[in-house]
Amino acid sequence: MQSWPAAALPVLGGAADEAPICLHDAVSGGLVAARPQSPTARLYVCGITPYDATHLGHAATYLAFDTLVRLWRDRGYTVDYVQNVTDIDDPLLERAARDGQEWTDVAEREIALFREDMTALRVLPPTDLVGAVEAIPQIAAFVVRLIETGAAYRLGEDVYFSIDAAPHFGEVSRLAAPTMLALSAERGGDPDRVGKKSPLDPLLWLAPRPGEPSWPSPLGRGRPGWHVECAAIALNRLGVPVDVQGGGSDLAFPHHEMSAAHSEVATGTWPVARAYLHAGMVGLDGEKMSKSRGNLVFVSRLRLAGVDPGALRLALLGAHYRSDREWTDGALTGGQGRLAAWSAGVARPAGPSGAQLLSALRGALADDLDTPAALRVVDAWCAGDGNDPQAPQLVRSAVDALLGVLLP
């Protein structure tokens, strides 16, 4: 499906021989060097389920991966970036039924709003934004492949994946079985369904249910399960292994665990992602911000209220992407203050050394995308005195290219 327009990206130059970009890999639990093995870096990030508008949790997660894309681009890599849109799944159907609307209308409206929000936040667009519905032929073919390997089985007309077929199952989330069971029940699984080989086995293909949409396929009519959607889209558009697979930390189990198990069985490759990056959860009033809880702050509402998207960006980048955090008015005020101070800083005829700032900024971001440290580097430059006449323009370009913030 159509992605969104890219903001211009200034080329800063001179970054190729900087220290390696280190990222925290959720699987190994430690830092890994994100050094793509070709001039093209391959990134898969789990996209939205479009049944409600983009909230600040989504925005924070996509800003984290935008920072990685900007850092790779700064190093001279091309980035093949694929993001899905779960444009058919139970939550979407439930929301449409609740509101007496067509599920297709809900999806279309929310995807359009998401594009607007991402454009306003100057998030660089994925090279491929892929909807589950448009990918159904590839997803069904992937399920056929899993059936052929013996890893998938029928339950009635539905198809399930046997987790026992995946040698490395459990290594992505590294959770104990009781925790997996609880999370499966909480996050779209059906551990209590009778007849499954293991309670954790996830659905690959759901045969038609009364009143629900279905599509023809070699498996019979139906619609895809959630985890296989991302496994099939990633494999088709990027192949395995990808350099980084990303999403919020709520996706570690079951979603990324199951997707990895599907891909492992289908391709015989392990790992299917060289690193897993999980963004922390943004909460409000002590609870994870989520559509099902309804405690949401929407990007579009803040935009309508006149909040500068650059300030919002700085407010969200002010916390480290891996930290769980609360959204507060103070964070927004902080972002607004920074935007004003930085705008004044680059409006000066000269300032402290631009080259030093650029090197410190790159260094902070290469340290597991440490945006709070990166923002402090720019704060210090703005607060300092110096006589480098080229610095204000260089800082403006660096803040634009690496942090996505356009200063006047």
Residues 6+ positions from 259 with CB-CB distance below 8 Å: 227, 228, 230, 231, 234, 245, 272
Question: Restricting to residues 54-113, which ones interact with ligand 5CA according to CB under 6 A?
Answer: 57-58, 60-61, 84, 86
Per partner kind, with CB cut-offs from 5 to 8 A, the member of ligand 5CA, Zn ion, none near residue 131 is none
Of the candidates 173, 212, 226, the one whose C-alpha atom is nearest the C-alpha of residue 29 is: 173
Q: Which residue has the tokens 């058919």?
A: 88
Q: Convert residues 269-288 into a mask of x (bound to ligand 5CA by CB under 6 A) and - (unbound).
A: ----------x-xx-----x
What span, in angstroms and rounded, lies between the C-alpha atoms of 303 and 290?
20
Contact (Cβ atoms closer than 8 angstroms) between residue 269 and residue 64 = no
What span, in angstroms and rounded, lies between the C-alpha atoms of 350 and 176?
57
Count, residues near ligand 5CA per rule CB under 6 A:
21
Residue closer to ligand 5CA (CB basis): 289 or 401: 289
Q: How far is the CB of 336 from ligand 5CA (least distance, A)?
A: 21
Using the rule CB under 6 A, give the single segment among 4-12, 40-48, 267-275, 379-387 that binds ligand 5CA.
40-48
Q: If DSSP codes are grouped into helix, strand and coil, which group holds residue 2?
A: coil
Q: How far is the CB of 232 from ligand 5CA (least distance, A)?
A: 12
Q: How many CB atoms lie within 10 A of CB 207?
A: 16
Using CB under 5 A, pick the residue from 43, 46, 289, 401 that binds Zn ion.
46
Q: Convert residues 244-273 into a mask of x (bound to ligand 5CA by CB under 6 A) and - (unbound).
A: ---xx-xx----------------------
What span, in angstroms and rounded, lies between the C-alpha atoms of 9 and 3?
17
How far CA 202 is from CA of 208, 258, 261, in Å, comes to 17, 7, 11
Using CB under 6 A, pick the residue from 32, 130, 230, 314 that binds ligand 5CA.
230
What span, in angstroms and rounded, lies between the C-alpha atoms of 277 and 381?
30
Residue closer to Zn ion (CB basis): 69 or 403: 69
Q: How far is the CB of 216 from ligand 5CA (least distance, A)?
A: 24
Using CB under 5 A, pick the residue from 230, 234, 378, 402 that binds Zn ion.
230
Strand 223-224 to strand 30-33: parallel, antiparallel, or no bridges (unpaired)? unpaired
Of the candidates 217, 229, 259, the one whose C-alpha atom is nearest the C-alpha of residue 131 is: 229
Residue 48 in the binding site for ligand 5CA (CB under 6 A): yes
Residue 143 in the binding site for Zn ion (CB under 5 A): no
Q: Which parts of this chain interact with ligand 5CA (CB under 6 A)?
A: 46-49, 57-58, 60-61, 84, 86, 230, 247-248, 250-251, 279, 281-282, 288-290
Q: Which parts of this chain interact with Zn ion (CB under 5 A)?
A: 46, 230
